Amino acid sequence: MRSGYRFIEPQALARVKNLSVVARGVVEGFISGMHSSPYKGFSVEFAEHREYTAGDDPRHLDYRMLARTDRLYVKQYEEETNMRVQVLLDTSGSMAYRYESNITKLEYGSYLTAVLSYLMTRQQDSVGLTTFDNEIRLDIPARSSPRHFNEMMHCLEAIQPGRQTDVAETLHKLANRFKRRCLIVLISDLYDDPDDVLRALHHFRHRRHEVILFQVFDRAEIEFPFKDLVALRDLETNERLQVDPAYVRDVYKQQVDAFIDTYRRACAEAQIDYVLTDTSVPYDFMLSKYLAKRNSS
């Protein structure tokens, strides 16, 4: 994989390179545990071509490609034991928010998407990317080649904040679309009705997908640090509201805490991994801590 992509930071990759993402119950043909083979096989489903390298089995050379291109290519097939991962990245308007942070929630989610995709590709698993606001904007199916990873990084760099949120309806559509069991990684602030979103997450679980949920905030959304009279603007509807922070702070924080706790409790009951983070927390530190805990449990 070449470097130079906006959301690929060599220092962050160095800190997570020895980590792995363990599948607990989504690997085709297995009930639980990590996929048994992290390598491409030659017996199940054709995936793509790659250039021949020394040591490849010559039985899998594609001689038609040789005749057309005068170059050696190997047919690659995905074994059923490979893990399939689909990252769902919320690109709605609210994800463009930042207060004092250096990056928006969408940028934070993009860095997280990039490092997760790197880990998946490095361990020869298939990873895809879906972005959405009130509609599905990008839908890249899971593949495992370095070329596919590069294409995903190009697409990630082109993403712009979108429109209003419809998390729940989008998740229902995607749950119906993904036929093979896979690991779903959702990155979102989840600004939608929690009951609706949780029903959609249950839809994934009903179809036997595993789900990891990263709920991303700006720290200001949690702590409400404003002191003077402030005019707030909804990034999705453009509605403006002038508030006195001293008057609303306690109620606001109670509602945010309840909002977060609803997801935390419901995810635990549904056996969905729930990770709360904010953009002031280095994403590689957060991910390393989470994966270490996940892989030891």
What are the pLDDT digits (tens) for 68-89? 787 776 665 544 447 899 999 9
**Position 37 pLDDT exceeds 50:** no
**Which tens digit of pLDDT belongs to each residue from 8-30?**
998 998 888 788 887 665 544 33
Neighbours of 148 (CB within 10 A): 20
pLDDT (0 to 100) of residue 66:
74
* pLDDT averaged over every residue in the chain: 85
One CATH from 3.40.50.410, 1.20.120.530, 3.40.50.300, 3.40.50.9100 for 10-26+83-296: 3.40.50.410
pLDDT (0 to 100) of residue 210:
94
Neighbours of 294 (CB within 10 A): 16
* For the chain, domain boundaries: 10-26+83-296, 45-78
pLDDT (0 to 100) of residue 30:
35
pLDDT (0 to 100) of residue 76:
59
pLDDT (0 to 100) of residue 175:
92
CA–CA dist 128, 149 (Å, integer): 9
Beta carbons of 210 and 183 less than 8 angstroms apart: yes
Under the banding of pLDDT at 50, 70 and 90, the label for residue 257 is very high
Strand order in the sheet with 273-278: 136-143, 126-132, 84-90, 183-188, 210-217, 273-278
In this structure, are strands 183-188 and 136-143 parallel, antiparallel, or unpaired? unpaired
pLDDT (0 to 100) of residue 117:
94
pLDDT (0 to 100) of residue 179:
82
**Position 239 pLDDT exceeds 70:** yes
Under the banding of pLDDT at 50, 70 and 90, the label for residue 47 is low
**Which tens digit of pLDDT belongs to each residue from 202-237?**
999 999 999 999 999 999 999 999 998 888 888 888
Phi-psi region of 150 (alpha: psi -120 to 50; beta: other; left: phi over 0): alpha
pLDDT (0 to 100) of residue 204:
96
Residue percentage of the chain with pLDDT more than 70? 83
**Position 289 pLDDT exceeds 80:** yes
259-285 mean pLDDT: 97
pLDDT (0 to 100) of residue 102:
92
Half-sphere exposure of 296 (CA within 13 A, CB side): 6
- pTM for the complete prediction? 0.82
**b/e for 90-112, b at 16 or more Cβ within 10 A?**
bbbbbbbbbeebeebbbbbbbbb
What's phi and psi for 249, nearest 5 deg? Answer: -55, -50
CA–CA dist 207, 56 (Å, integer): 37
pLDDT (0 to 100) of residue 17:
79
**Which tens digit of pLDDT belongs to each residue from 162-198?**
988 889 999 999 998 888 889 999 999 999 999 999 9
